[in-house]
Amino acid sequence: MGVHAGPEDSARWAEGLQRRAFELLWLALTLSALGRGWLHFTKDSPYWSLFWSEELVSPLLGLIGVEWSSYVESATVEATLNTISMGLGLLYIVLSVVTARASAELLRTGERPFRSPLVQRSLWLLLGLQLVYVSTYWLGKSLYFPIWLEQSTLIALPWLCLSTGLRGEDQTRAQSTDDLYLSRAPITVTRLALSCTFIGHGMFALGLYPVPEDYLVMVMRTFGCSQQSAQTMLWWAGALDVLAAIAVWTPRRYLRVRWSALTYMLAWGAITACARVVGHWGLGTFTDTVWYWLPELMLRLPHALIPWWLLTLEGGVRPYWRGRPSPPARFKKEAPDERRAP
């Protein structure tokens, strides 16, 4: 049995744990918004799959008496649609600045940033933009179902920041170990989003849907292997993705199994994010590589940061990595009660 710490030590440790977790969550949100916005200027945005969809757009044009041929051949229409696309990208970047300022305030003072009406509205707007972006991306990818699965974590991020923040002062103040796990909904949604993301990746890697060419190119360039070897590596990675997605739901009495799955997700999420830059290094100038592939890295880093967030909340990562005191002994020796975590 460990020596029981005083209530002040317990509350201080719990507060530090929550603060580190919130820092990771808001960092993931900021990176995903900035990366998504940046991509609007470096590659074709998915909105064009909607703009040029005759099946969807032609009936609307008929209502206003515009022929499809006139629409697709008009330089003015194309310029207008391009402006709309760039405008949406700029809006993403503006929202990333708002969340970055909120994150900086959290780092500087420890105050919860979501009390600001501007931040709250920005999060709701970002959630709507994510749904529009993914919908058009899904349309352009032959309506493959795993597209929605693999984008689940990025879609859920704005909601997670809202759901873990919009509470009264008496609820947010960490007074006991119960507060370490916030409420059941955010944790459950986070696990569900992570599971869907890794299952979606796994379905492509296993070949259940056509393996994206960029998957193969990154693996071949990163590891210097043949296409056959790259396909084999992707198959095994896909199998591990699905296994990890299932393992995060293990009961709390098998907590180390859950931690192992989250650790794998953290490592694999970081590797696949960095592979966007490493796998394309040398294909152009340094400036070109940074301009075109850094936003891809930023967009995918949340796939590592969100498992880290869960690990921190559940005690799999010590919150004090900056030379601060260790947690009270009772947190080390005594596992939290089953009802305290979903």
Tokens of 76: 């003015």
pLDDT means per 10 residues in the chain (342 residues)? 47 60 86 94 88 88 86 88 93 93 72 72 94 93 91 92 58 38 71 94 91 81 82 91 93 86 92 84 80 91 91 62 40 41 42
Task: Quote the pLDDT of residue 12.
Answer: 56
Task: Quote the pLDDT of residue 223.
Answer: 77
d(CA 104, CA 152): 26
The four Cα atoms 313, 317, 319, 323 give a dihedral, to 10 degrees, of 180
- Burial class of residue 91 (count of CB atoms within 10 Å of its CB; 0-12, 13-18, 19+): middle
Task: Quote the pLDDT of residue 290.
Answer: 87
Closest CA to 25 of 317, 307, 321: 307
Closest CA to 126 of 138, 137, 134, 115: 134
CA 327 to centroid of chain Cα atoms: 29
Task: Quote the pLDDT of residue 113.
Answer: 61
Q: Where are the domains of the chain?
A: 7-340
